[in-house]
Amino acid sequence: MMTPASTRNPGMMQLVFELRKNNVADDVIDIMERTPRELFVPQAFQDRAFENAALPIGHHQTISQPLVVAIMTEALELTDRCKVLEIGTGSGYQAAILAPMCRRVYTIERHRMLQDEAIKRFAQLRIHNITTRCGDGSKGWPEQAPFDRIIVTAAAIDIPPVLVDQLAIGGIMVVPIGDDQHDQRLVKVVRTDDGTEISDLGWVRFVPFVEGEVLP
């Protein structure tokens, strides 16, 4: 069992306070408190690891703001039976938060170096229910579909129909939408027998969702 980060770094106490102030659920806060965010942050930003802010991780990617991680996690309404697809592994932080709350996480990253680093972090934390792939996240992971939950950690221009098709009936997808970093909305998509139900979760700022080749 991981030791709560607040006992290792006083900065986590302030972050927990901010999460509670924003009405984040206790179970999500507990997992975030036990997951060492400093492990997922580059050395140059170690002194900011517990700030409620997005931070660069290289390759023009970021580790998301902790409050946004919490909001997206909570919106997924996870159970221990859920099979989850994550588009955009990045540092691996979001996947590490999801893993204790579900059956398995399948996560795709197009930057091979980021994927390799994330795999090492999962092993260090002894997280064994995450499966990774280096590839084009816009195609999803059809061999493993359908998924009970899908989370997209980059902003798409519109709700990706390919990913909706890989979502189980009754499943939930959380995805940022918008082609301008200053005008993005986080939306929750529930797939129904008749189509989808969409709700707005508020303003966010993510790097763009990029289709195409795998990068080093």
Give the pLDDT of residue 215. Answer: 66
The percent of the chain in helix, strand and coil, each rounded to the nearest 5, is 35, 30, 35
* Cβ atoms < 10 Å from Cβ of 192: 10
- Is there a domain that residue 63 lies in? yes
Judge whether 6 counts as a catalytic residue. Answer: no
- Is there a domain that residue 134 lies in? yes
- Is there a domain that residue 211 lies in? no
- Is there a domain that residue 197 lies in? yes
Domain range for 137 is 5-204
- Is there a domain that residue 215 lies in? no
Give the pLDDT of residue 209. Answer: 86
- How many domains does the chain fold into? 1
pLDDT score of 207 more than 50: yes
pLDDT score of 159 more than 70: yes
Give the pLDDT of residue 183. Answer: 80
User: Using one digit for the tens of pLDDT, what is the confidence trace for 16-71?
Assistant: 999 999 999 999 999 999 999 999 999 999 999 999 999 999 988 999 999 999 99
Give me the CATH number covering residue 10. Answer: 3.40.50.150
Give the pLDDT of residue 10. Answer: 76
- Is there a domain that residue 41 lies in? yes
- Is there a domain that residue 86 lies in? yes
Active-site pick, 6, 64, 91, 138: 64
- Is there a domain that residue 214 lies in? no
Q: From residue 117, give the alpha-carbon distance in Å to each of 33, 61, 82, 186, 213.
A: 21, 14, 25, 27, 19
